[in-house]
Copies of this chain bind each other. A is one copy, B any other.
């Protein structure tokens, strides 16, 4: 809570970051791949060298978090142990090795009047990143944005402020040695929420906001931003096992989608089973899942087959458990399955298991999600798994980027039209 004059002063501080970021982004438009990669490696060196100071700042954040009664899980996300520091440093070096996403000719054609048109990938400009707890995001996001020639303004959680400041300081030290513009990487250090409000309404200087964290954070950003937001809310992912499914593959895919890492957004939350499938399939599936410790919540028809299931309520179909819980529903064929997914899903990742090519096509076309899987697990929705390199997040939005947001998604395009004096008649 702040009075008006404080609020005004915070707004002005953030506007100043924005003005400087815009200037830096204009300089970066002229940077070559070599310049960027050199800077990324220099930033990795600096992070590596400043590891002791970063860990010291981090231990202060961790101590304060414990004092403030943050949960163990939240404290764990905050900790920068040696392994995480090493991974962060290596992450920057890996990004330096990736191909330059800027300058790609996306399309090129000549018109009858002799004009040569090129659609070229260019940086977006200035990216505002708003995130919680994990301080490694500071380095990962800054490196990805820089690789795509964008300037970045970072706003991490106040619980990680010292860690983030230490990391951002190291990145700037490294960058400076490589000639990186001073304001290419900036951190909002004001703890006040007015700073976020200023950042997400600074249309003139910020081109996109990427929020990463809990649903509350993301909704608050999306509702109050005037700058465009690239976001994902949640992953309510489904596996539909069709009457024509290979039963063995289906067991394995469902088990993997639910159990391999239940706390992530591409894990399955609902199993849809075709009523045409032999009931024995679901019985055995339930045995497998229950043996893994999964709690099953079924609709009436599913519970008739597997009596040990709890009763699923309407709320279950809407819920991202992020836990060893799976809701189960029996449907009459693919159309009901698709209808359920498009009604209750979150447009993230949904799978079908079937050997029928027509049903594969139908599912691929009619399920309105970022990633649709045929005879494989939903767990593959990830920039690295897709072969796109590191990702900054996953978008369930429809515009600009859908699915993994990696380097190419951190660029936009412009048209460069070359003529020899043509005029419009």
Contacts and interface: CB of A to CB of B under 8 A. Distances in A.
A376 interface: yes
Interface string A376-410: 11011100011100000000011110110000000
A377 B422 contact: yes
A252 B423 contact: yes
A328 to B, nearest CB: 19
Given A30-B365, A365-B29, A366-B30, A228 B423 contact: no
Contacts of A249: 420-421
Interface in A154-179: none
A111 interface: yes
A380 B115 contact: yes
A263 to B, nearest CB: 14
A223 B203 CA distance: 10
A424 B372 contact: no
Contacts of A368: 26, 29, 125, 414
Contact of A399 (B223, B228, B373, B376): B228
Given A30-B366, A398-B412, A414-B371, A115 B226 contact: no
Q: Chain A interface: which size bin? A: 35 or more
A342 interface: yes
A246 interface: yes
Contacts of A115: 376, 380
A140 interface: no
Q: How many copies of this chain sit in the oligomeric assembly? A: 2
A281 B25 CA distance: 35
Interface hub of A109, A111, A379, A418 (most chain B Cβ within 10 A): A418
Contacts of A362: 30
Interface in A228-285: 228, 230, 246, 248-249, 252-253, 255-256, 260
A207 interface: yes
B252 A372 contact: no
A74 interface: no
A340 B375 CA distance: 55
A413 interface: yes
16 contacts: A26-B342, A111-B387, A115-B380, A117-B386, A120-B364, A203-B222, A230-B399, A260-B423, A370-B415, A373-B418, A376-B420, A377-B423, A380-B424, A399-B412, A402-B413, A403-B414
4 closest A-B pairs by CB: A376-B419, A256-B423, A249-B421, A379-B424
